[in-house]
Amino acid sequence: MNKRIGYFVLILLFISGILAFAGGEKEAGKEGPVKVRFVIPGNPEQDADIVQAEINRRLMEDGQNLELKLVYIPWDVWDQKTNLMLATGQEFELMQVMEDRHGFADYAAKSAVVSIDEYIDKYGTALKRVIPEPVWNAVRVDGKITAIPAYRQSAATDRYYWTIRKDLLKENNLAIPTTPAELLNAAEIIKKNWKGDGELYIPIRSNTDAFFFLHRSYDSFPFTVFQKLIRIDQDGKVSLWVESEEFKKDCEFFREAYNRGLIHQDILGQPNDWALNQLMSARFAFVPQCPLNLWPKMKKNNSDMKMDDIVTVRFNPEKPAFSFNLFGNDNVIPSTTSHPEAGVKYLNWVYSSQENYDLHFYGIEGRHWEKAPNHRRISILDPDTGKSNYRFREWMAGNVEYLRYEESAHPRFVELFSKTPEDTEYSLTIGFNFDAASVQAEYTSCLNEYNSSMVPIVLGLVDYEENFPIALKRLKAAGIDKVVEEYKRQFNDWLATK
Amino acid sequence: MKKTGFFNIINYSLITLFSLFCALPLVLLLMVSLTDEKSIIKNGYQFLPEKFSLEAYRMIFTGGHDIFNSYLVTIFITVAGTLAAVMITSMAAYTLANKSVKHRDTLSLFFFFTMVFNGGIVPWYIICMKLGLRNNILALLIPSLLFNPFNLFLVRNYMKSIPDSLRESALIDGAGDLRIAFQIYMPLSTPVLAAVSLFYGLAYWNNWWNAIMLVDKSNLYPLQYFLLKLKSELSMLTDLQGSSAVLSTITMPTESLKMATAIITIGPIILLYPFLQRYFVKGLMIGSIKG
Amino acid sequence: MEMKTDLKKLPNLKNVGKGSLIKDVVRNPMSYLLVLPAVLYTFIFGYLTIPYMVIAFQKFNFRTGILNSKWIGFKNFEFFFKSTSAATVTWNTLRLNFLFILFTTIFSVSLAILLNEIKNKWFVKITQSTFLFPHFISWVVASYIIYTLFSYNYGIVNKILVYFSIEPVSWYMTPKPWTSILVGMKVWQATGMSVVIYLAAITGIDGSMYEAATIDGANRWHQIRFITIPLIMPTVAILTLLSIGKIMYGDFGMIYAIIGDNGILYPKADVIDTYVFRALRLSGDPAQAMAVGLFQSAVGFVLVYVTNRIVKKKFSEGALF
């Protein structure tokens, strides 16, 4: 090949390539209200445009000089498209963040988002009112507020609860279990005497988080478990979770459950929506946490079920509630916008009155929803499709102050999720974000190894005594001790600054 | 003669076996798409549903005339795109197969390199923006679809097997490369061009990526975009670890709906393929040397 | 035959000197015109994206572009290469892809040849169409079908085993058989398309050769062995070489849909792409993804280059470039 021409062409194309990517896209400034492009996952409902028009009309009336534009991105391509938009400098003012995917801290580390303390101070009176100080502290990176949390449910929520079918208990003359052992006995009896379709397995997913519902029954409660690997006690002690006695007890519980036929053999190979389908048919004896948000669907599939038939309880109710997770979603201001205050101003407007909140989340009153007693609402469904024609998902940006539950929502569900018990104790880790960058190879290896060798033990598919030593050895080989050390170091440093 | 009969039996059986291996899952899909949802939850997938239902299809088609428009868009870009792509590909293949072109192997390397090395979505997107491929029909026709080196090599290989003597005699008759390419090589390459048309056609038909990334005008949405919307809520479940509080807000696509979307995608192509098959005719080469 | 004369006529590229490209264009203007659209497209959508790959060596930051980000050498590669799983997933990727190529080729060549021998046109049309069906079934949907087959309690495979008094197997908890299962699934999905290609190639074989062979007394089997197979070898070679280029890229869609988060099967089924995907789910660093991609591309390219040279020496018709 003609080398000279080759090199020349190569250099040419490198230059042109670099020039092509050097700059980002910036729109020319326009007159008129500042656009608030709110990037959210999902697909627009039929009336999305109509509601946005109404929101903008109201914004005008209130002299806000803002214009909302919801930008919907299908789930399948959420990560790719948002990365693309941020990397190519596309302007938008507000973005939804799901903490169980990539957290705000992650975006901040890559300079994808800006800190907003000054805007909160200047424009966020409503925000400050409806979001308490501890929650604001949980969204700080290097001391600066980096996200607006969706504080939509009680600080304690349902991780430490479990739910059981009381009607099936009654059928078998059983009382509500108060200890893990009693729970297993009850579940086994219920399963054996079940006359309906299918089997009554515990509807859990294989990638479930640690089984918090059991932890209340341990003497050492409360303690925090991070990413199924690291345990943090309230006195600041950091250790490897899987090496603890409590982990062993969790595994033994599920091994017992498996031996009594309560765990689906193919739990590892099941399609992802199996557990959900079981819950919607109310086909379970008991299940960790509280699925009562699915109550309307459960009722639809089992018309003679009553609200009292499903109860959510916790072990050792005399112990205080414990919270280590204050919110699961938040909204951030991307660094690509030329109006960083716009997103803050908009959310502040939404939170400044019940009417604004209602409009943004539920749509136009009378057309998409109606008020119901007890601060609830009734969704008006489209007669043709049976679906709602507008719905801004509450979990993205909801707030406890204004939240309206569906009229048909189960009262226990509403109670659990909206009231923070007075005696709630908070985890020491709230506000701390672990940066795995320096131990990344080990961290991902460990999570991988956990998936490979620990999950079968955790789900009770194999025996603890036989398999744990090998699994632990493999975890150590993957570098878990290094990860725990790093976590400990970062955590202690952070504690020292508090 | 006995051997031929035996050979035939083995032949037919093996092919039928593989054919069933391929076809049965689709039949199962079709059946599931027509099954009543409750029956699926109770019994799982079955070849003969306990209860029939057209609910899934109804759900898809309640999109009204939006769906109709998207069918038009898809058909247009498939036909136009495939024609253009096959043209570009076969022209280039001729050059790569042309023995007079001394640098044809270098050119081949030029094309192949990009099959292995690529900068990914971000530069792709920036290039599309800079070229103005946004919210117009070209955005659905050009990026990622208009040319695929894989198909180029298939056609090139086929053309390589066309005897040189044909080209030489045409040159002697005073024909130039253009005429030779269009009037000799391409007609003789119908089998491989048919294959490549199928591949390009499928690529255009199944593409939703361009629409999602480059288009937000709803009258330009292709069929796949609508089907993706229906399926994508399901993807969220794959990653979800958090509380089920989130899950209740999804419009759960039912089992039958998942299958129905697959059937709708496949349907038209299945009808198209037999039409293309006529080009896989044996003996096209007979007489070409003598001609 | 054609092939042998070509070998001698093949220009030795080492002797091509300066300015010969221009000479070539001048000598074959129309040919270069014909190839121009493809070249343009490839330059724009292919080569212009390549400079972006430098982010593999930079600390990724959304704000600074590729001109201003910090250079950190090979650090982005560490998360993968330092991990204990790197060797396993790399080996799995290579092993699975190799088997995929091997078996898909065997099946599609065989089926194409067999189909070609069938006289009944309708049978050919129908069966050939059915071969394509699996291509349209997405892996997510296929994974449900696989579950219907391999589920422990209600799966069809176990039901068959029980019928023959064999102990049922907990498939989703046993890594070993999954290589075979995955190969089987890949063959199911990919054979149809390859059959199309091979049939096209077979159709292009000069019919007079078969006539001459029959006159010489060759039976069907001889004809297949000595005419058909050798003449489609270039196509086999091309397809194989093209697949080798991607041999370090695992079929993410397939593996992720079928294996998902089932860690027990990782030792046999986890590939580079799924591992990286899970790793980056937590950190979401595009530079790291690019680093691994660069590694996969580089190795693939070197493999193809080497293989291509060997093929070129022995069998120039089958060479890629």
CATH, residue C157? 1.10.3720.10
Is residue C293 included in any domain, yes or no?
yes
Partners of residue C242 in chain B, C-beta under 8 Å: 112, 115, 150, 153
C 39-68: CB under 8 A from B: 39, 41-42, 44-53
Instruction: Tell whether A288 is covered by a domain.
Output: yes
**Quick one: how far is CA B102 from the chain centroid?**
33
CA distance readout (Å), A461 to A215, A467, B233, B247, C268: 20, 11, 30, 27, 19
Q: Which residues of A touch C285 (CB under 8 A)?
A: 110
Same domain, C175 and C283: yes
Which residues does chain C have with pLDDT short of 70? 1-19
Identify which of C52, C138, C246 has the shortest CB distance to residue B120: C52
C69: left (phi over 0), alpha (psi -120 to 50) or beta: beta
Q: List the structure tokens of C99.
A: 């088997």
Cα(A397)–Cα(A97) distance, integer angstroms: 10
Q: Are residues A317 and A330 in the same domain?
A: no
Residues A39 and A135 in one domain: yes
Q: Say if C6 falls within a structural domain.
A: no
Domain boundary among C30, C49, C73: C73
Map out the domains of chain B with their CATH numbers. Answer: 54-277 (1.10.3720.10)
> What is the DSSP pairing of strand A230-233 with strand A148-149?
unpaired
Task: Using only the alpha carbons of chain A, give its radius of gyration.
Answer: 25
**Would residue B268 be called left, alpha or beta, if left means φ above 0 and alpha means ψ between -120 and 50 degrees?**
alpha
B94 — contact with chain C (CB < 8 Å)?
yes
Task: Let me know if residue A19 belongs to a domain.
Answer: no
**For the packed helices B104-116 and B65-97, what is the interaxial angle rounded to 10 degrees?**
140
Tell me whether residue A53 is in a domain.
Answer: yes
d(CA B178, CA C33): 9
CA angle A385, A390, A394 (to 5 degrees): 125
Tell me whether C63 touches chain A (CB under 8 Å). yes
Q: Is residue C10 part of a domain?
A: no
Query: Considering A306, A323, A340, which residue would you say is the last residue of a domain?
Result: A323
Give yes or no: residues A121 and A208 share one domain.
no
β A34-41/A94-98 pair status: parallel
Q: Which residue has the tokens 């440093």?
A: A493
Give residue C17's pLDDT: 52
Nearest CA distance, C230 vs chain B (angstrom) = 12
Quick check: is A350 in a domain?
Answer: yes
- List, as ranges, residues 221-280 from B with C-beta within 8 Å of C: 234, 238-239, 258-259, 262, 265-266, 269-270, 273-274, 277, 280
What is the rounded average pLDDT of the residues B180-192? 92
Is B223 a residue whose pLDDT tops 50? yes
- List chain C residues with CB under 8 Å of A479: 84
Nearest-CB residue to C141 (from B107, B110, B262):
B262
* Domain presence at residue C199: yes
Q: Which chain C residues are closer than 8 Å to A226 by Cβ?
A: none
Task: Work out the angle at residue A199's Cα, subtended by the Cα atoms of residues A196 and A204, and round it to the nearest 5 degrees.
Answer: 130
- How large is the average pLDDT for residues A446-464? 94
CA neighbor of C253 nearest in space, from C207, C186, C320: C186
Q: Are residues C284 and C311 in the same domain?
A: yes
**C151 and C25 part of one domain:** no
C44 and C103 inside one domain: no
Contact B11, C117 (CB under 8 A): yes
pLDDT of C265 reads 95
- Taking the C-alpha atoms of residue A212 and residue A224, their distance in angstroms, rounded to an integer, is 9
A/B interface, count of CB pairs below 8 Å: 99
Report residue A311 as tokens: 């109860």
| Residue A416 counted as domain residue | no
Residues A94 and A116 in one domain: yes
Q: Which residue of C has its CA nearest to B118?
A: C50
What is the C-alpha end-to-end distance of chain C, expressed in Å?
A: 22
Same domain, A115 and A230: no
Does residue A203 have a pLDDT over 60? yes
> Where among A349, A377, A411 does a domain terminate?
A411
Domain count, chain C: 2
Indicate which of A1, A444, A446, A450 best probes the interface with C, i.e. most C CBs within 10 Å of its own CB. Answer: A444
Per-residue confidence at B102, pLDDT binned at 50, 70, 90?
Answer: very high
User: Does C117 fall in a domain?
Assistant: yes
Q: Would the CB atoms of A268 and C173 count as touching at under 8 Å?
A: yes
Question: Average pLDDT over chain B, rounded to whole?
Answer: 81
SS3 state of residue B52:
strand
Pairing of strands A329-332, A94-98: antiparallel
Average pLDDT, chain A: 90
Q: How close B99 gets to chain C, by Cα (Å)?
A: 9
Domain contains A419: no
How far apart CA C76 and CA C286 sit, in angstroms, is 10
Q: Does the structure show a pLDDT above 80 at B4?
A: no
Inter-chain CB proximity C141 and B259 less than 8 Å: yes
Contacts of B88 in chain C (CB under 8 A): 37-38, 41
Please tell me chain C's helix, strand, coil percentages from 3-state DSSP, rounded to the nearest 5: 75, 0, 25
* A56 & A104 share domain: yes
> What's the CATH number where A138 sits?
3.40.190.10
pLDDT value at residue A18: 53
Which residue in chain C is spatially nearest to B192 when comparing CA positions? C200
Chain A residue with minimum CA distance to C15: A1
Question: Which range among A272-281, A374-383, B55-64, B149-158 shows the weakest confidence by mean pLDDT?
Answer: B55-64
- E strand or H helix at C45, and its extent? helix C29-45
Same domain, yes or no, for A302 and A406?
no
Given B25, B103, B113, which is nearest C134 (Cβ)? B25
* Burial of residue B207, with CB atoms counted within 10 A of its CB: 0-12 exposed, 13-18 middle, 19 or more buried: buried
Nearest CA in chain B to C192: B22
Query: By percentage, how much of chain A surpasses pLDDT 70?
Result: 94
B101 and C297 within 8 Å at the Cβ level: the answer is: no
Question: Which residues sit opposite A425 in a β-bridge?
Answer: A322
Tokens of B175: 């024909």
* CB C134, CB C140: distance < 8 Å: no
* C283 to A437: CB separation less than 8 angstroms, yes or no: yes
Task: Answer whether C50 sits within 8 Å of A442, measured CB to CB.
Answer: no
| Alpha-carbon span C172 to B290, nearest angstrom | 61
What is residue A181's predicted lDDT score, i.e. its pLDDT? 95
Q: Are residues A172 and A317 in the same domain?
A: yes
Q: The domain containing residue A39 runs over which residues?
A: 34-155+326-411
Q: What is the largest distance, in Å, between two alpha-carbon atoms of chain A?
A: 89
What is d(CA B257, CA A39) in angstroms, rounded to the nearest whole number?
A: 27
Q: Are C190 and C252 within one domain?
A: yes
pLDDT in the model for residue C10? 46
* Shortest CA gap A97–chain C (Å): 13
Residues of A in contact with C275 (CB under 8 A): 448
Of C131, C207, C286, the CB nearest to B283: C207
Q: Are residues C160 and C34 in the same domain?
A: no
Residue B242, classified by CB atoms within 10 Å of its CB into exposed (0-12), middle (13-18) or buried (19+), is middle
Closest chain C residue by Cα to residue B199:
C193
Residue C228: HSE in the Cβ half-sphere, 13 Å Cα cutoff? 25
Do the beta carbons of residue A230 and residue A204 sit within 8 Å? no
pLDDT in tens, A152-191: 988 888 899 999 999 999 999 999 999 999 999 999 999 9
Rounded to 5, what percent of chain B is helix, strand, coil? 70, 0, 25
> Are residues C53 and C189 located together in one domain of the fold?
no
Instruction: For B61, name the nearest residue in chain A, comparing CA atoms only.
Output: A385
Task: Give residues with Cβ within 8 angstroms of C287, minimum separation 6.
Answer: C55, C56, C58, C59, C60, C76
Q: Which residues of A313-345 are buried (b: 16+ CB within 10 A; e: fewer)?
A: bbbeeeebbbbbbbbbbbbbbbbbbeebbbbbb
Same domain, A218 and A128: no
Give pLDDT tens digits for C126-154.
888 889 889 888 888 888 889 989 999 88
- A16 found inside a domain: no
Which residues of chain A make contact with B125, given a CB cutoff of 8 A? 84, 88
Lowest mean pLDDT among A21-30, A409-418, A471-480, C120-129: A21-30
Are residues C175 and C64 part of one domain? no
Nearest to C31 by CA among B105, B181, B157: B181
Among residues 9-38 of chain C, which lie with CB inside 8 Å of chain B?
9, 11, 13, 16, 20-21, 24, 27-28, 30-35, 37-38
Q: Is the pTM of this model over 0.80?
A: yes
Counting one residue from chain A and one from chain C, the pairs whose CB atoms sit within 8 A come to 145
Residues 100-159 of B with CB under 8 A from C: 100-103, 105-120, 122-124, 127, 131, 143-144, 146-147, 149-150, 152-154, 157-158
Based on the domain organization, do C60 and C207 belong to the same domain? no
Does A226 have pLDDT greater than 80? Answer: yes
Phi first, then psi: give them for residue A273, nearest 5 degrees: -100, 10
Is residue A131 domain-shared with residue A269, that is, in the same domain?
Answer: no
Can you give chain A as a three-state secondary structure string?
A: CCHHHHHHHHHHHHHHHHHHHHCCCCCCCCCCCEEEEEEEECCCCCCHHHHHHHHHHHHHHCCCCEEEEEEEECHHHHHHHHHHHHHCCCCCCEEEEECCCCCHHHHHHCCCECCCHHHHHHHCHHHHHHCCHHHHHCCEECCEECCEECCCCCCCCCCCCEEEEHHHHHHCCCCCCCCHHHHHHHHHHHHHCCCCCCCCCCCCCCCCCCCHHHHCCCCCCCEEEECCCEEEECCCCEEEHHHCHHHHHHHHHHHHHHHCCCCCCCCCCCCCCHHHHHHHCCCCCEEECCCHHHHHHHHHHCCCCCHHHEEEECCCCCCCCEECCCCCEEEECECCCCCHHHHHHHHHHHCCCHHHHHHHHHCCECCCEEEECCCEEEECECCCCCCECCCCCHHHHCCCCCCCEECCCCHHHHHHHHCCCCCCEECCCCCCCCCHHHHHHHHHHHHHHHHHHHHHHHCCCCCHHHHHHHHHHHHHHCCHHHHHHHHHHHHHHHHHCC
Cβ of C278 within 8 Å of Cβ of A445? The answer is no
Residue B240 binned pLDDT confidence (cut-offs 50, 70, 90):
very low
Q: How far apart are CA A431 and CA A139, in angstroms?
A: 7
How large is the average pLDDT for residues B155-179? 92
- Asked if the structure places residue A469 within a domain, the reply is yes
Residues A336, A353 within the same domain: yes
Residue A211 has pLDDT above 90, yes or no: yes
Confidence category of residue B281, pLDDT binned at 50, 70, 90: low
Confidence of residue A223 (pLDDT cuts 50, 70, 90): very high
Same domain, C47 and C136: no
Question: C188, C126, C174: which is closest to A268 by C-alpha?
Answer: C174
By residue range, what is the domain housing residue C111? 88-318
Number of domains in chain A: 3
Tell whether C236 and C284 lie within a shared domain.
yes
C contacts of B150 (beta carbons < 8 Å): 242
- Chain A residues lying within 8 Å of C291, measured CB to CB: none
Instruction: Specify whether A235 is located in the same domain as A106.
Output: no
User: pLDDT tens digits, residue range B9-38?
Assistant: 888 999 999 999 998 888 887 887 787 766
- Residues in chain C with CB shorter than 8 Å from the CB of B171 are none
Are C96 and C45 part of one and the same domain? no
